[in-house]
Structure 1
Amino acid sequence: MGCCSVTARGANLKQDGHEEVELLQTEGSRKQSETGSLSPNGGPYSISHHQATCVKHEVPDKPVLFWGKSHANLDDMILSEPIHGWEGQDIQTYGKVVRSSLIFMQIRGTHSQEIMECFLVLFPLHLLILSLDHQDRRFIYQGLLSLSGMKVFSLWTSIGHTFEISGPMIESRQISCLNSRERDLWISELQHHILEANTHYSLVYPSINILSFLLPCDSMWKKKELIRYLTSCPIRDWEGRAIQHLGNAIYLSAVQVAHTIDADFEDRLLVLFSEDLVFLSVDAEKTAVTYQGTLPINAIHIKESIAWDGRLEFQITGHMMEPILVCCSTIGDYNYLVFYLQKPEESDCAISPPPVPTVPAKYRRR
Structure 2
Amino acid sequence: MGCCSVTARRVHSKDDVHEEVELLRQEESKRQSSIRSPSTPLPNGETACFRQEKKEPISTSENGLSNTKQAHCNSQATLFWGKSHEKLNETIISEPIPGWEGQNIQTYGSIVMSSLAVMQMNQTQELFECFLVLFPFHLLILTMDHQERRFIYQGLLPLSGMRVICANTSAGHTLQISGPMIEPRQVSCLTANERNSWISSLRHHIHEANSYYPAIFPSISILPYVVPCDNVWKKRELIKYLTCCPIQKWEGKAIQHLGNTIFLSMVRVAHNIDSDFEDRLLVLFPDDLVFLSVDTEKTTVTHQGTLPLNAIHVKEGLTWNGRLEFQIVGEWSSNYIFRDQ
Alignment TM-score > 0.5, same fold? yes
TM-score by length of 1: 0.66
Paired residues of 1:269 and 1:281 also in contact (CA < 8 A):
yes
Matched with 2:40 is none
**Whose helix fraction is larger, Structure 1's or Structure 2's?**
2
Q: 1:78 aligns with which of 92, 95, 103?
A: 92
Identity of aligned residues (%): 59
What does 1:121-132 align with in structure 2 at a 5 Å threshold?
Answer: 121-132=133-144
Matched with 1:42 is none
CA deviations over 1:236-293 (Å, ceiling 9, x no partner): 4433332111122232221112334333322111112233222112233434423233
Paired residues of 1:152 and 1:166 also in contact (CA < 8 A):
yes
What secondary structure sits across from 2:21 in the alignment?
Answer: coil
Say whether 1:313 aligns with 2:318. Answer: no
Matched with 2:110 is 96
Paired residues of 1:163 and 1:175 also in contact (CA < 8 A):
yes
What secondary structure sits across from 1:141 in the alignment?
Answer: strand
What secondary structure sits across from 1:231 in the alignment?
Answer: helix
Paired residues of 1:10 and 1:20 also in contact (CA < 8 A):
yes
Q: C-alpha displacement at 1:64, in angstroms?
A: 7.0
Letter in 2 for 1:323: S
Instruction: Name structure 2 gaps, 5 residues minimum.
Output: 1-5, 24-42, 57-69
Letter in 1 for 2:327: F
What secondary structure sits across from 1:65 in the alignment?
Answer: strand
Matched with 2:250 is 238
Paired residues of 1:106 and 1:115 also in contact (CA < 8 A):
yes
What secondary structure sits across from 1:55 in the alignment?
Answer: coil
What secondary structure sits across from 1:142 in the alignment?
Answer: strand
Distance in structure 1 (CA, Å) of the matches to 2:232 and 2:201 = 38
**Cα distance change of structure 1 residues 160 and 5 upon mapping to structure 2, 3 Å threshold:** farther
Q: C-alpha displacement at 1:6, in angstroms?
A: 5.2
Say whether 1:21 aligns with 2:21. Answer: yes
Instruction: Name structure 1 gaps, 5 residues minimum.
Output: 12-18, 24-45, 331-366
Paired residues of 1:5 and 1:114 also in contact (CA < 8 A):
no
Distance in structure 1 (CA, Å) of the matches to 2:221 and 2:118 = 41
**Cα distance change of structure 1 residues 317 and 109 upon mapping to structure 2, 3 Å threshold:** farther
**Cα distance change of structure 1 residues 48 and 237 upon mapping to structure 2, 3 Å threshold:** farther
Distance in structure 1 (CA, Å) of the matches to 2:166 and 2:49 = 15
What does 1:262-301 align with in structure 2 at a 5 Å threshold?
Answer: 262-300=274-312
TM-score by length of 2: 0.70
Say whether 1:105 aligns with 2:119. Answer: yes
Distance in structure 2 (CA, Å) of the matches to 1:261 and 1:58 = 74
* Higher RCO (CA < 8 A, seq sep 6+): 2
**Cα distance change of structure 1 residues 22 and 294 upon mapping to structure 2, 3 Å threshold:** farther
What secondary structure sits across from 2:174 in the alignment?
Answer: strand
**CA RMSD after TM alignment:** 3.9
Aligned residue pairs total 297
Distance in structure 2 (CA, Å) of the matches to 1:233 and 1:323 = 31
Q: 2:264 aligns with which of 245, 249, 252?
A: 252
